[in-house]
Amino acid sequence: MVEFLLKTTQEDKIPYGTFAQAADKFQCSRWTITRIWQRYQDGKARHSLLGGDVSSKIKKNSGRKGYNYEELLERIKSIPASKRQKMRKIAMKIQVSLSVIQRLLKKNKLRRHSNAIKPLLTPANRLARVKFAAARVDDETLRFDPMYDVVHIDEKWFYEDVDKKTYYLVPGEEPPKRRRKSKRYIGKTMFLSAVARPR
């Protein structure tokens, strides 16, 4: 940057607009160019040098050191899964900031998983299933019944409304009025369906 500015000087003066040209050339702010040029001038005046010192004032081995993500993942893996339900708790366990855990999630090093309770089959349930399957086997041919004469019936309940709803209203607009005797008195509709193989 300094060499570029020195080439454009005329009678120890920098023409108007040179800092803007340097900023475009080196892809930085014109204030950065001004600061470096001022550092060059100060070093030249202080040490009577032909070229002022424009080296960075930042000390060596400074700034953020960063984290070893593989090591962090190993430390997270050592925590039981039952205690890894909140990012803040994970950060406290491995003694890092919350933003580090959020960064791991953003970089797809961690993944969010929703876990739902699955139904458990009891021994009685399993025995009933085996009996049902065995009852559909023909004793003579030992083949499964094609179930041409079986009708499957199922029902499904739908609530007419829910307790809480979100609306996006414009300023001055009144929210819709929703009144029920109680949350327990929300009407329901039942759909009954039957499925059978066409004869």
pLDDT tens string 129-168: 999 999 989 888 889 888 888 899 999 999 888 888 888 7
pLDDT at 51: 58
Q: What is the number of residues in the chain?
A: 199
Averaged pLDDT for residues 174-180: 85
Distance between start and end Cα atoms, the chain: 88
- By the 8 A CB rule, do 19 and 33 touch? yes
Domain ranges in the chain are 2-47, 69-106, 123-196
pLDDT tens-digit readout, 69-109:
889 988 988 888 888 888 899 999 999 999 999 998 898 88
Global pTM value: 0.41
Contacting residues for 182 by C-beta, under 8 A, at least 6 apart: none
Q: Tokens standing for 12? A: 């120890």
Q: Is the pLDDT of residue 50 over 60?
A: no
- Mean predicted lDDT score pLDDT of the chain: 85
